[in-house]
C-alpha cells in the first residue's frame, strides 16, 4: 500500500516519453529495411513486453541506455511456433497480431490475467478479412498461423486505434491495397510514423490506404507523453500550482483531456510548437486558476479515452454536474474503468450515473481525507487515485502498478516516498500494510509499505541488500534471529530495523503498552507464559524488568525448560493473575484451563479464535488481544522510521479497518 501527503513539488524535468509511440517505433523499426536507432524511449513494463516479444520474433535490440535502443530488424521470421508474452499490454497484443500475420509467423499470444479478459474479437475479424488465419485458442489470447494476406476494404466496427494499427502493419505485407475507414478519428501515430519512414501509407479524412512495402530505416526521436503529463497538469490545477511540461506530443487526437479542461476555464496554453516526424510537439503551460463543470463530447472522449478517469477524479473537486459522453469503451480497458470510477465516486461521497455509454457525476466539491481505494490492478486507476489522495491533503491507495505505463510517476509529481516493508516467508495475510498506511495518513507521511516474501534459503548477502534498499523493515519468521546476527543486534531476535537506530524487538512494548491502556496490573505479579518462541521470549525479558514472576508452559516441554534455564525462572508459579499465550489456537491451547486466580488474559493471535480468550470472556475477565499488540508494535516502529511521535490511536485504527471491511 502507499500513503500520500500534499507535500510535493511538480518536477517538470522528469517526463515520460510517449508510450503509444514507443510501442509503434519499436515495431516499425523491427520490420524496416535496416537498423533504426530510437531515442527517448520509455521503458515502462508495457514497452518492455513489446521489446521482449520482438526479440522472440527475431529482432535484435541493443540498448545504449534506458532511453536509447538500436533495433536490428527481423531478417528471417522464425519457422517454429513463437509464444508472444504481452504481459499487461493490449497495445503489444493487438499491434503485434497484425505484424505477425504479415510476417507469416505461427504465434501463440499470451498475457496476464487482466489482458486475458480484454476483448480480442474486434481484432480477429478485420485480420481474417485480409486472409489472416487467426483464431481464439484455449489457454491464450489467440493463435496466428502462417497465411498469405490480401488487401481489403475494411470499415471499423469500434473506435480503436489499436485495431487500425494492426490492420496497417498487416497491410504492409498484403498482396494488394488495403483501405481502413474509421467511424471517428482515433490516434494516428502509426500512419504518421510510417510516412516518416517512407512507407506507402496515405490518409484521406477517416480513410487510411496502405500498399505493400517495408518502411525504410530512419532515426526516431520520441516526444514526451501527453497522457503521462496529464497527471502533473491535473495536480497543478487542483492544488493551485503552475507547471510547464516540455517537449510533449501535441497530436490533436491525443488532446481530449486538455480540450475539456480548456472548455471548463483552465488556463492551458501550448508553446514552442514544432513538427517532429510528422507529429506536432511543444510545451504545455498550466497556470493556476479555478475551473467549472467538465463536459466531454464523443470526439473528445475518443481523443482522451485514457484520461477520462482522471477527468472524473478532477470533477469530484468541482461543484456541479459533469458529463462524459461516449465513454462505454472504458469497460474494456485493463479493468472495467466505469466500475472503478463508481468506486472512487462512492468512496468520496458523491453521485455517479452511467447509462451504458454516457457518464454523469454530480459533486459538491468537497473531497474527504483519509481515504482508501482499490486500484483494480489498473495502472491508470492507481495514478488517478494518487492525484486524488495528494490533492485531498492526505490519503492512501493499495498496490500501485505505476511502472506499467509511467516508471517515473511519483518522481514526476515531485514525491519521494519512504520505502517501508515486511520480510518473512508466509506474509500474504499480514495486516501490517493496513496498519502502516493508517499511521502514515494520520502522521502526514508519504510512504510505501511492501510485502517482501522471501524463501528461507535466501542468502545473507541478499538479505542485507534488501535491508539496505529500504528505509524501514519489519522482520518476521524465520528471519528474526538471522537478521539480529547479521546486523550485530544486542538482542537475539529482532523484528524492526531501519536507518538511524539499532535493530530491536518491539514485542515487549507491544505487550506492556496495551496492558497498561486496559488498566491491567501486571507489575510484580505471578504470570503464566504459554509458548516458547521468539515473541514469548521477548516478552519474558520485558516482564522481568517489572519484577514479574513467570512460569513457562509449552507443548514441547524441552523448549519450556530451555527458557526457564536461560532466564532462571521457577518451574511453577501458583495463583497467576494473568495468562499470556503466544501460540495459535490448537488442541494444546484449547486444553488449557484458566486458574481461578486469573484476572486477565493476553492472546497474541489475532487471525483466528482462541480457547483461552473464550474462557476469559465467559468469566468476564479482561482480554487483551494480539491486534492491540500489533498496533502498539507498528506505531513504535513507524515512529522510529519516520521520526514522528508514537500515535496512540488504536480506537481510530479499529474504526478505519472496520470501515473498509478488514475485520
DSSP 352-391: EEE-SS-EEEEE-S---SS-EE--TT-HHHHHHHHHHHHH
Give phi and psi for 505, each to the nearest 5. -105, 130
Annotated catalytic residue within 46, 225, 306, 507: 306
Contacts of 663 (CB under 8 A, 6+ apart): 627, 654, 657
- The residue written with cell numbers 496498519 in the block is 435
d(CA 650, CA 438): 10
d(CA 279, CA 286): 21
Q: CA-based angle 16:21:25, to the nearest 5?
A: 120
**Beta carbons of 372 and 398 less than 8 angstroms apart:** yes
Helix residue spans in 133-249 (DSSP H)? 161-171, 189-196, 226-238
Q: Which three cell numbers stand for residue 332?
A: 474494456
Specify the pairing of strand 107-110 against strand 82-85: parallel
Please report the sign of the dihedral spanned by the C-alpha atoms of residue 245, residue 246, residue 251, residue 254: negative
Helix residue spans in 159-240 (DSSP H)? 161-171, 189-196, 226-238
**Beta carbons of 526 and 552 less than 8 angstroms apart:** no
Beta bridge partners of 281: 249, 274
Q: Which three cell numbers stand for residue 600?
A: 486477565
3-state secondary structure of 199: coil
306 flagged as catalytic: yes
- Burial of residue 276, with CB atoms counted within 10 A of its CB: 0-12 exposed, 13-18 middle, 19 or more buried: middle
Contacts of 474 (CB under 8 A, 6+ apart): 421, 422, 423, 432, 495, 496, 634, 637
Please report the sign of the dihedral spanned by the C-alpha atoms of residue 614, residue 615, residue 620, residue 621: negative
Q: Which has the closest alpha carbon to 345: 368, 327, 326?
A: 368
Give phi and psi for 244, each to the nearest 5. -115, 120
d(CA 102, CA 93): 14
Q: Which three cell numbers stand for residue 434?
A: 493496513
Query: Known catalytic residues?
Result: 306
Amino acid at each position: 500500500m502507499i500513503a500520500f501527503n500534499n507535500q510535493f513539488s511538480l518536477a517538470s524535468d522528469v517526463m515520460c516519453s510517449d508510450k503509444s509511440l514507443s510501442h509503434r517505433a519499436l515495431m516499425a523499426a523491427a520490420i524496416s529495411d535496416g537498423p533504426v536507432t530510437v531515442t527517448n524511449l520509455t521503458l515502462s513494463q508495457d514497452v518492455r513486453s513489446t521489446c521482449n516479444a520482438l526479440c522472440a520474433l527475431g529482432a535484435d535490440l541493443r540498448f545504449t541506455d534506458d532511453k536509447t535502443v538500436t533495433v536490428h530488424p527481423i531478417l528471417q521470421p522464425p519457422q517454429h511456433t513463437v509464444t508472444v508474452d504481452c504481459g499487461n499490454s493490449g497495445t503489444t497484443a493487438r499491434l503485434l497480431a497484425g505484424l505477425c500475420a504479415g510476417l507469416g509467423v505461427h504465434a501463440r499470444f499470451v498475457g496476464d490475467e487482466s489482458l486475458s479478459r480484454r476483448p480480442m474479437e474486434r481484432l480477429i475479424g478485420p485480420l481474417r478479412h485480409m486472409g489472416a488465419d487467426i483464431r481464439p485458442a484455449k489457454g491464450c489470447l489467440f493463435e496466428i498461423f502462417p497465411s498469405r494476406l490480401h488487401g481489403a476494404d475494411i470499415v471499423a466496427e469500434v473506435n480503436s486505434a489499436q485495431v487500425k494499427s494492426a490492420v496497417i502493419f498487416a497491410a504492409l505485407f498484403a498482396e494488394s491495397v488495403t483501405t481502413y475507414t474509421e467511424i471517428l478519428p482515433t490516434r494516428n501515430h502509426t500512419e504518421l510514423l510510417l510516412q516518416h519512414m517512407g512507407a506507402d501509407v496515405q490518409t484521406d479524412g477517416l480513410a487510411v490506404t496502405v500498399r505493400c512495402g517495408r518502411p525504410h530505416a530512419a532515426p526516431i526521436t520520441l516526444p514526451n507523453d501527453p497522457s503521462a503529463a496529464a497527471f502533473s497538469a491535473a495536480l497543478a490545477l487542483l492544488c493551485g500550482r503552475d507547471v510547464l511540461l516540455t517537449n510533449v506530443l501535441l497530436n490533436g487526437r491525443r488532446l481530449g483531456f486538455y480540450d475539456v479542461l480548456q472548455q471548463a476555464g483552465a488556463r492551458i496554453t501550448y508553446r514552442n510548437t514544432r513538427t517532429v516526424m510528422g507529429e506536432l510537439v511543444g510545451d504545455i503551460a498550466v497556470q493556476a486558476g479555478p475551473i467549472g463543470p467538465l463536459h466531454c463530447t464523443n470526439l473528445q472522449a475518443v481523443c482522451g479515452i485514457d484520461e477520462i478517469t482522471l477527468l472524473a477524479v478532477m470533477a469530484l473537486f468541482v461543484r456541479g454536474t459533469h458529463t462524459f459522453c461516449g465513454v462505454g469503451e472504458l469497460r474494456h480497458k485493463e479493468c472495467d474503468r466505469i466500475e472503478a470510477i463508481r468506486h472512487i465516486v462512492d468512496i468520496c461521497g458523491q453521485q455517479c450515473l452511467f447509462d451504458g455509454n454516457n457518464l454523469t457525476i454530480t459533486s459538491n466539491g468537497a473531497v474527504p481525507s483519509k481515504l482508501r481505494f482499490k486500484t483494480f490492478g489498473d495502472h491508470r486507476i492507481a495514478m488517478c487515485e494518487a492525484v486524488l489522495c495528494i490533492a485531498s491533503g492526505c490519503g492512501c491507495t493499495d498496490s500501485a502498478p505505476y511502472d506499467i505505463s509511467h516508471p517515473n510517476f511519483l518522481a514526476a509529481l515531485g514525491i519521494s516516498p519512504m520505502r517501508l516493508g515486511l520480510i518473512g516467508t508466509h506474509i500474504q495475510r499480514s495486516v501490517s500494510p493496513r496498519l502502516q498506511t493508517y499511521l502514515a495518513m494520520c502522521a502526514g507521511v508519504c510512504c510505501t509499505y511492501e510485502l517482501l516474501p522471501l524463501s528461507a534459503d535466501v542468502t545473507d548477502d541478499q538479505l542485507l541488500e534488501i535491508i539496505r534498499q529500504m528505509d524501514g523493515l519489519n522482520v518476521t519468521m524465520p528471519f528474526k534471529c538471522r537478521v539480529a546476527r547479521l546486523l550485530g543486534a544486542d538482542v537475539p531476535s529482532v523484528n524492526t530495523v531501519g536507518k538511524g537506530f539499532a535493530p530491536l524487538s518491539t514485542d515487549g512494548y507491544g505487550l506492556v503498552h496495551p496492558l497498561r491502556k486496559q488498566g491491567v496490573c501486571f507489575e510484580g505479579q505471578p504470570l503464566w507464559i504459554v509458548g516458547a518462541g521468539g515473541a514469548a521470549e521477548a516478552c519474558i525479558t520485558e516482564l522481568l524488568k517489572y519484577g514479574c514472576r513467570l512460569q513457562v508452559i509449552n507443548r514441547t516441554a524441552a523448549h519450556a525448560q530451555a527458557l526457564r534455564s536461560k532466564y532462571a525462572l521457577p518451574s511453577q508459579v501458583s495463583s497467576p493473575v494473568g495468562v499470556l499465550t503466544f501460540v495459535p489456537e490448537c488442541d494444546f491451547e484449547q486444553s488449557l484451563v484458566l486458574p481461578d486466580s486469573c484476572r486477565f488474559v493476553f492472546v497474541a493471535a489475532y487471525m483466528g479464535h482462541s480457547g483461552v480468550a473464550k474462557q476469559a470472556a465467559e468469566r468476564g475477565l479482561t482480554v487483551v488481544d494480539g491486534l492491540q499488540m500489533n498496533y502498539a508494535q507498528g506505531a513504535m516502529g513507524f515512529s522510529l522510521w519516520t521520526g514522528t511521535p508514537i500515535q496512540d490511536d488504536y480506537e481510530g485504527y479499529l474504526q478505519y479497518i472496520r470501515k473498509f471491511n478488514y475485520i
